[in-house]
């Protein structure tokens, strides 16, 4: 893209974000992104746990009722 590599594009995008949002707003955006990634990781962990439990239940032989 116009002879620009990935590092140059990233630097340009960062400069545009700083100009558009300003310094104080960027900290709020970064904090929000951090919260989002934390919640995403928690959700991912819970889903993986549920899948492992379901696999474990499927592998166990059915128990006879008395």
Whether residue 25 lies inside any domain: the answer is yes
Q: What is the pLDDT of residues 23-64, one digit of tens each?
A: 788 888 889 999 999 999 999 999 999 999 999 988 887 776
Mean pLDDT of 15-24: 84
**Which structure tokens are listed for 32?**
């929000």
Q: Let me know if residue 3 belongs to a domain.
A: no
Instruction: Say what the pLDDT of residue 52 is.
Output: 95
Total domains in the chain come to: 1
Tokens representing 64? 């006879």
Write the DSSP assignment of 21-50 as a string of letters: H-HHHHHHHHHHHHHHHHHHHHHHHHHHHH
What is the domain range of residue 33?
21-49
In a domain, 5, yes or no: no
Residue 28 lies in a domain: yes
What is the DSSP secondary structure assignment for residue 65, as one 8-state letter? P
Residue 32 lies in a domain: yes
Residue 10 lies in a domain: no
User: Is 62 a domain residue?
Assistant: no
Half-sphere exposure of 58 (CA within 13 A, CB side): 6
Q: Which tokens belong to 25?
A: 């707003």
pTM over 0.85: no
């Amino acid at each position: 893209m116009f002879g620009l590599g990935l590092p140059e594009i990233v630097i340009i995008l960062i400069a545009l974000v700083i100009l558009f949002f300003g310094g104080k707003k960027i900290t709020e955006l970064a904090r929000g992104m951090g919260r989002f990634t934390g919640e995403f990781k928690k959700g991912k962990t819970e889903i993986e746990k549920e899948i492992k439990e379901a696999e474990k239940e499927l592998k166990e032989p059915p128990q006879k009722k008395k």
